[in-house]
Structure 1
Amino acid sequence: MARTPVGPPRLALVTCVFCAIVEGSVHAHVVLDEPEVVGFLDARPVFKGHVLVAPRAHVPTLLEVTPRLMPVLMGAAQRVAAAVVEGLGSQGSFVAMNNVVSQSVPHLHVHVVPRTKGDGLRGFFWPRTKYADADEAEGYAARLRSALAPPA
């Protein structure tokens, strides 16, 4: 899946890692690539298949998102939530957005975490896991891309 830069190439001044992912200068396992939003695997997932859905444009927090972009962002998160069920076999998902506090990257993003009854996630404690290697992460990304692909 080709990533399309949001605007003109930036010099080495990019300080937002999500903007760097959008422009293609930082690698990510992209599962959703649309004109206004992008979805990619979290590098430190709560559970494998944990996706971050973010606007392509730099929007720091929920308070700065435009009324026009909000349904686009949440519609994408909704489709990713369906994809973790279809593509990964999870029973459901946990969808969340931090706003300033606990927002480790100051670029608005929605967490879509695959969930299965008895998976051990409790309250707001988010233990993190790791992919064994890039191949395993790409396998999860491929399954999600397949589930997100329009019907042929």
Structure 2
Amino acid sequence: MMRSCIACEIASGQSPAHVVHQTDRIICFLDHAPINPGHILICPRAHLSDLTDLPDDLLAEIAHTAKVIAQQLMDTLGCDGVSLLQNNGAFNDLGHFHLHVFPRTIADGFGWKVAHPSLENLDSPARVRNSPSDVVD
């Protein structure tokens, strides 16, 4: 039995959410477990699992929407900045593509532990050369 998709349920109106913006192709709503107040998810209405599943025009619409939302968060909340976060594969806990847009403050305590690899470790055979189509395996 296939597990239901909460993002699809929200997009179809079957599950409640605080929707902040929507079009015929995307829906944006407040995260139920926000990193900071104002944390918004942008999801395609169609069930698409990962970034690599998105058609380019839909990805462009999502990116443009993220830009507009980021500016609105900075204008209305007076935050110090905005972060975007997207997880794929095993790290995508919804199983439905979603882009996190969340306000940041200097003192919010959110962050990543930064590793500082050597230059040799950065010279990976899987690096991107000149464009995404030039990825070396």
Shorter-chain TM range is 0.7 to 0.9
Superposed, 1:96-115 pairs within 5 Å as 96-115=85-104
Q: Which has the higher contact order (CA 8 A, sep 6+)?
A: 1
Q: Deviations over 1:18-46 (max 9, x none)?
A: 00000101000011111211110000011
Quote the residue 1:80 is aligned against: 69
- Say which of 81, 86, 110 aligns to 1:121: 110
Does residue 21 in structure 1 map to residue 16 in structure 2? no
Relative to structure 1, the CA distance from residue 78 to residue 105 in structure 2 (aligned partners, 3 Å threshold; closer, same or farther) is same
Residue deviations 1:110-142 (CA, integer Å, cap 9, x gap): 001100112111216xxxxxxxxxxxxxxxxxx
For 2:101 and 2:15, the matched residues in 1 are separated by 21
- Following superposition of structure 1 onto structure 2, how do residues 130-141 of structure 1 map, counting pairs within 5 Å? none
- For residue 82 of structure 1, what is the amino acid of its counterpart? Q
Distance 1:113 1:96 in 2: 8
TM-score for the superposition, normalised by structure 1: 0.69
Shift of 1:74: 0.8
Name stretches of at least 5 consecutive residues in structure 1 with no aligned partner.
1-12, 125-152
> Could you tell me which residue of structure 1 aligns to residue 45 of structure 2?
56
Q: Which runs of 5+ in 2 are unaligned?
A: 114-137
- Over 2 Å off, 4+ runs: none
Calculate the aligned-residue CA RMSD, in Å. Answer: 1.5
Determine if the alignment matches structure 1 residue 38 to structure 2 residue 27. yes
Rounded Cα–Cα distance in structure 2 between residues aligned with 1:49 and 1:112: 8
State the TM-score, normalizing by the size of structure 2. Answer: 0.76
